[in-house]
Amino acid sequence: MLDKLAKIEERYDEIERRLCDPVVIANREMFKDLSRERSALEELVPTYREYKKILADLEEYEASAGSGDPELKELAEAELPTLRAKRQALEERIKLLLLPRDPNDDKNVILEVRAGTGGEEASLFAADLFRMYQKFAESNGWRVEIMSASETDSGGFKEVITNISGKDVFASFKYESGVHRVQRVPTTESQGRIHTSAVTVAVLPEAEEVEVQIDEDKELRIDVMRAGGPGGQCVNTTDSAVRITHLPTGLVVLCQDEKSQHKNRAKALKILRARLLDKMQAEQHAERAAERKSQVGTGDRSERIRTYNFPQGRVTDHRVGLTLYKLEAILAGDIGEFIGSIRAHFQAEALKSENA
């Protein structure tokens, strides 16, 4: 492990030097690639340097503990347990940092929230989840842009698609893919009965053009139409809505939120690229199902991952068995504890596979 870490440190120092080179600075793509590589190492390398210092200190104190000087021996024996504990903690941290990194972690996200079973109540909960994610993103300084939304008359969403951009967005949001279940009494329920509804969340890494090549002339059918609002109400009087069909796969994307046909087309293409990338990666994962068990995946979207119980004020994540009694705070965007627990769970599973 030490040899591997030494090579990583050497590469990190090389990247640091190259990023100061005027030739690299002038080359936008090269500078971007090197910056991304440095970002992936900027936690591991300082941790390794701290680990080297602890090893040197341990060597020095162990030598003192074996010396004939009683005072030095007493001092060393007092310090050694703390240093050994630090060494063990750093070794565990380094093992985690050396795990294969999900190549999508530093990507922006296309987040899709859709009402599932439960009718109007499901659409209202879809709006609640969208606001939860919006507040979580804003609390992290990430930018949220609505790409497409299909609202209901009661203020819910049949579907809302957003683009969330910032540092390491996918690394956090990827754990949210799946079915979210809500248990509460709808406002229309006169007898106070609890209803169960479901909302599906899909988290897709935003795809760059180089990752997903589309021959727009041959592979796309683009239809332009008049945008419509809730209940069929007309949003504007121009033919600005854009529906793009990817002919090879049959994937369809409709965008109508913008008054500009050009902007709707650009948004629809961004969503389509993300869905195509997700489809490609899902097929690759399926081909190596055994290996996928040791990776942090996006999760099975048919699987119920979390339940929000309003009468009891609790939220349970079924993947890690974590229940928190702070439903209001969670719906206000406080989901960091869930994300941290799930990340730790998958990292532990990955470590088991690495050591098997």
pLDDT band at 213 (very low <50, low <70, confident <90, very high): confident
CATH 3.30.160.20 in the chain, residues?
216-286
CATH 1.20.58 in the chain, residues?
2-97
Q: Which CATH number fits domain 216-286: 3.40.50.880, 3.30.70.360, 3.30.160.20, 3.40.47.10?
A: 3.30.160.20
**Looking at per-residue confidence, does 263 or 209 come out higher?**
263
* CATH top class, domain 109-207+300-351: alpha beta
**How far is residue 315's CA from residue 245's CA, in Å, rounded to a whole number?**
38
Return the bridge partners of 246, or none.
Answer: 220, 251
The segment with the largest mean pLDDT, out of 244-258, 289-303, 318-332, is 318-332
> pTM of the prediction?
0.69
**Mind listing the pLDDT tens digit for each residue in 101-113?**
777 888 899 999 9
Q: Across residues 300-320, what is the average pLDDT?
A: 85
Structure tokens at 61: 């104190």
Region of 262 (left: φ > 0; alpha: ψ -120 to 50; beta: rest) is alpha
Confidence (pLDDT) at 302: 45
pLDDT band at 352 (very low <50, low <70, confident <90, very high): confident
* CATH top class, domain 2-97: mainly alpha
Strands (E), 212-350: 220-225, 241-246, 251-255, 304-309, 314-317, 322-324
**Mind listing the pLDDT tens digit for each residue in 258-273?**
788 888 888 888 899 8
Residue 210 has pLDDT above 90, yes or no: no
Confidence (pLDDT) at 34: 92
Confidence (pLDDT) at 176: 93
CATH 3.30.70.1660 in the chain, residues?
109-207+300-351
3-state DSSP of 156-171? CEEEEEEEEECCCHHH
Q: Across residues 180-208, what is the average pLDDT?
A: 86
Structure tokens at 96: 């985690």
